[in-house]
Structure 1
Amino acid sequence: MKPEYKPLKELNDKTQKYKTKVKVIHKSTPQQSPNKTRYQRLLLKDDEGFTMKGALFDTDIEKYAEALERNGEYELSNATITAVPPQYASKPNEYSMIINARIEINPLSINPIVLGPHYQSIATVPRDPFNTELVDILGVLLYVSRTKPIPRPHGGEDLVREMFLIDHSYDRPFTVSLWNELLGRIIPCCGNPCSDRKDIQR
């Protein structure tokens, strides 16, 4: 008999006993928060195309290092579901799955890790200001600002310019700030570095 899986969109912090089938589409490198808590992020996707963030903490990072692989499909049961704090949420009423001793993991298929960029939608990029995780984003470049000088508190100045990107997942542009030596690395569609003499719009 085929298992009855609960879709991710129906899971919340009141959900108790359940099974869901997901694919791990992103697995970050472990990091450390300002309060010294170690954590690792996951992004899970079900057969209906819905996504949910996942998280591991401290010793559970090593404990489940090989239990959940990127591109692998799994049956997950009874993991704790918690509400994402509003300041870190990508959408209203967002929830996260905590990977700890409560979870039951049944591998369904493990696909080889594909080397190269693994593009994330803008909506899934963490809003945590202390996050240092590197991500690949594929979007449309709307606008590149002129270079602006930013005074330093103790003298001198930094140079900054902003790029505005958008993709299918987010209803407003995503801002990327480029500072100092990174300014010359903006390469628009024409193939030439951006000049301060003319803003680029795409």
Structure 2
Amino acid sequence: MNTPPKMKLEPVYLDELTTQSKDYKVKVTVTEKRRAQPSPKKPGVIFQTIILEDEKKNRMRCALFGDQIEAYEEVFKPSGQYEISKAPITAVDDQYKFNLEELPYQMTVGHQTIIQRLNPESGPIEPKYQPLSTIPRSPDPNGRYDVVGVVLFVEEAPRMIPNARGRDSPVREVSLTDTSQDHAMTISTWNDLTGKPCDAMNNWAEKFNVVGFTALKTRHTRGFTLNTTMSTRIIMNPKGARVDMLREWVKLYQHVLLDRQERILNVRYPSAEKKVVTIAELRSKKAANATPDEVAWIRVTIPEVDLQRVNAYIGCLGCGKWIHLALGTRFPCISCKKADTVAVHKVTFKFEVVDDSGTMSFTTFSDDTEKIF
């Protein structure tokens, strides 16, 4: 009896796939590997999303469910290149898309699916740690960065603040430093990362342990900080040449780390005594070298008050953003992400101040404006 020849799989690109695609193969790179989370549609089901990209920059998600997550933990690696064949293709609801450019389909892993890593001889895929000072300061919504550094401070407990979708999410801040700059970087950890991972680092802060973070994004709303994403992993025992160098640095320069830690603690737990600085000293503070939430006091004179620069308006109770709504109206604010806020009276005042070291422009808002007058 003659055995029929095996069908040769035709290579395709991601944008050529549909729910009818069966016998195909595609070459892709894992650009994101998100952490597992409960399904919003199926209670009790855990799923994980992996974002795949082909040579034409098409992106499609691959979904793993239940036991598949653990089974493929060491198969799919961030930045890894793979050839995938015979993976079932299903449609994705628009409400679950991450962005408008995403293809309307997703891969799943079936019994006939074959996943092969390309160039496996290159060894294990490790995070590409970079110095904190080399992270671009210009906003890049698609930029993701792997960093490794020494933990100096971990916020004691999570705080609940509105996320990008207007819902309250837990956030907990971590201060990390390395040899590339003389100050610490703040990393805001979100959601599930605020629990056990932060608890472990909190216990380590006094020991100056080295910890790795992957897939961080930049944030520019309060100076320059980093945020975790759904793809971020916190690596408690990182490896590599950069990690070894940092551990040696910790042994040799405990006094440097203690000084940086003290600066952070002075901001986090300020004393009752007000430290007055000059305008020149205040001007030296930049987004790159200031500690978030740092408070400075200056002793100045307002030489001329121009009442034409007092601006009264109706704005959001939370963030003060101007809105075109009637006083007392309740609404969701797209600026501060509060799902339920109210339109209230707001007032700003722009003015110049002087001291012996120079001049500076200021703007006060609402309560502070009233105090000045």
TM-score greater than 0.5 by the shorter chain = yes
Structure 1's 4 and 102: CA in aligned 2 closer, same or farther, altered over 3 A? closer
Aligned partners of 1:52 and 1:95 also within 8 Å: yes
The number of aligned residues is: 149
**1:112 Cα offset (Å):** 2.3
Aligned partners of 2:19 and 2:90 also within 8 Å: yes
Structure 1's 19 and 93: CA in aligned 2 closer, same or farther, altered over 3 A? closer
The question of 1:33 aligning with 2:39 is answered yes
> Which structure has greater helix proportion?
2
Equivalent residue for 1:148, pick from 315, 318, 331: 318
Aligned partners of 1:39 and 1:56 also within 8 Å: yes
- 1:1-50 CA deviation, whole Å, 9 max, x = no partner? xx962101101111110000000010011111241110001000011111
What stretches of structure 2 of length at least 5 have no aligned partner? 1-8, 144-164, 170-190, 194-214, 222-314, 320-331, 340-362, 367-373
What stretches of structure 1 of length at least 5 have no aligned partner? 150-159, 164-175, 180-193, 198-202
| Aligned residue in 2 for 1:10 | 16
- 1:61-102 CA deviation, whole Å, 9 max, x = no partner? 111111111110000001011000132134486111113433
Structure 2 matches for 1:34-183, cutoff 5 A? 34=40, 35-89=43-97, 90-91=99-100, 94-109=104-119, 111-115=125-129, 121=142, 136-137=216-217, 146-148=316-318, 162-163=334-335, 177=337
Aligned partners of 2:10 and 2:24 also within 8 Å: no
Structure 1's 45 and 133: CA in aligned 2 closer, same or farther, altered over 3 A? farther
- 1:126-172 CA deviation, whole Å, 9 max, x = no partner? x8x8x96887555898xxx85439xxxxxxxxxx9644xxxxxxxxx
| Aligned residue in 1 for 2:325 | none
Structure 1's 6 and 32: CA in aligned 2 closer, same or farther, altered over 3 A? same
Larger RCO (alpha carbons 8 Å, 6+ apart): 1
Identity of aligned residues (%): 28
| TM-score, normalising length: structure 2 | 0.34
Mean CA deviation greater in 50-59 or 3-12:
3-12
| TM-score, normalising length: structure 1 | 0.59
**1:107 Cα offset (Å):** 0.6
Aligned partners of 1:83 and 1:93 also within 8 Å: no
Residue type at the aligned position of 1:103: T
Aligned partners of 1:24 and 1:72 also within 8 Å: yes
Structure showing greater radius of gyration is 2
